[in-house]
């Protein structure tokens, strides 16, 4: 080393602190030498941020709109379902009303049929012997199918029949004052009684004779005395059914 080298100091490499101070000074110089460019970058970043925020809000608004549309569709679907249930309920109500009307009609028909079925037939028993008419009345009314009126005076039988309006007349043939044949002619001559069937009761013929002629003598129904009550009921049902 010569004397000159000893006098002139040798350059030293910069330390980390010097480098930091140097870069800081460089940044400061850039900021002061180019102030407009630094502000422009900041404004651009802010504008981009605002644009991104606006786009985000737009996306959120679109999402809310889609959700609202979905809710509206769901509400419309529920409304349609409610209307369908209402229509079904109305249909069930109409069907129930129809079934009620049908049931009422059936009940009315059943009641009417029952009334017809339970309506008792009116029988006029004409015989000069009260014991005979009493026996007929007690037996027939015990069945609960008949109402029996007794008449033991042949001359009063016509007026009694027109008043009573019987469904069938049981008429004895052999009676004093007015026999059964003449009384039957009076019944058939009456407009009120001409359609009423007559069953003659007589001891003048036997049961075998009546049976051999099919229960008819001279075109009229006959029962031979002494009367068998079960045969009499069967005869009544036959003629009343016709």
The model's pLDDT over 68-121, given as tens digits with 9 standing for 90+, comes to: 999 998 999 999 999 999 989 999 999 998 898 888 888 776 655 554 556 899
Instruction: Note whether 173 and 88 are same-domain residues.
Output: no
- Least confident range from 47-61, 146-160, 209-223: namely 209-223
Structure-model confidence comparison of residues 32 and 124, the more confident one: 124
CA 120 – CA 126 distance, rounded (Å): 19
Asked whether residue 126 falls in the same domain as residue 236, the answer is: yes
Instruction: Give the Cβ contact number of residue 175 at 10 Å.
Output: 20
Residue 230 pLDDT > 90, yes or no?
yes
What 3-state DSSP class applies to 96? helix
Task: Verify that 137 and 233 share a domain, yes or no.
Answer: yes
Same domain membership, residue 102 and residue 140: no
124 lies in some domain: yes
Which sign, positive or negative, has the C-alpha torsion 161, 164, 168, 171?
negative
Pair 124, 60 in one domain: no
CATH code, domain carrying 208: 3.40.50.2300
DSSP annotation of 171 reads: E
Cα–Cα distance measured from residue 140 to residue 121, given in angstroms and rounded to the nearest whole number: 10
Q: Are residues 133 and 29 in the same domain?
A: no
Residue 8 lies in a domain: no
Is the residue at 103 inside a domain? Answer: yes
Could you tell me the residue range of the domain that residue 82 belongs to?
16-119
| Residue 48 and residue 105 in one domain | yes
* Cα(107)–Cα(110) distance, integer angstroms: 5
Contact 222, 205 (CB under 8 A): yes
pTM of the complete model: 0.52
**Contact by Cβ (8 Å): 98, 121:** no
Lowest mean pLDDT among 24-38, 112-126, 128-142, 207-221: 24-38
Q: How many domains does the chain have?
A: 2
135 within domain boundaries: yes
**Residue 111 shares a structural domain with residue 155:** no
């Amino acid at each position: 080393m010569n004397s000159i080298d000893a006098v002139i100091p040798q350059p030293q490499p910069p330390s980390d602190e010097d480098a930091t101070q140097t870069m800081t000074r460089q940044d400061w110089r850039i900021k002061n030498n180019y102030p407009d460019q630094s502000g422009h970058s900041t404004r651009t970043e802010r504008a981009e941020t605002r644009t991104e925020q606006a786009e985000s809000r737009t996306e959120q608004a679109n999402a809310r709109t889609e959700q609202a549309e979905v809710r509206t569709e769901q509400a419309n679907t529920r409304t349609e379902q409610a209307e369908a249930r209402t229509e079904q309920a109305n249909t069930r109500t109409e069907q129930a009303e129809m079934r009620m009307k049908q049931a009422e009609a059936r009940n009315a028909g059943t009641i009417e049929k029952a009334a017809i079925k339970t309506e008792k037939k009116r029988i006029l028993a004409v015989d000069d012997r009260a014991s005979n008419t009493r026996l007929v009345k007690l037996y027939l009314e015990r069945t609960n199918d008949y109402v029996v009126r007794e008449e033991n005076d042949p001359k009063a039988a016509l007026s009694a029949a027109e008043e009573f309006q019987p469904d069938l007349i049981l008429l004895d043939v052999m009676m004093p004052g007015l026999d059964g044949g003449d009384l039957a002619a009076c019944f058939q001559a009456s407009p009120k009684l001409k359609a009423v069937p007559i069953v003659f009761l007589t001891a003048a013929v036997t049961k075998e004779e009546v049976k051999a002629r099919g229960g008819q003598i001279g075109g009229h129904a006959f029962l031979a005395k002494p009367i068998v009550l079960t045969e009499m009921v069967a005869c009544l049902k036959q003629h009343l059914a016709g």
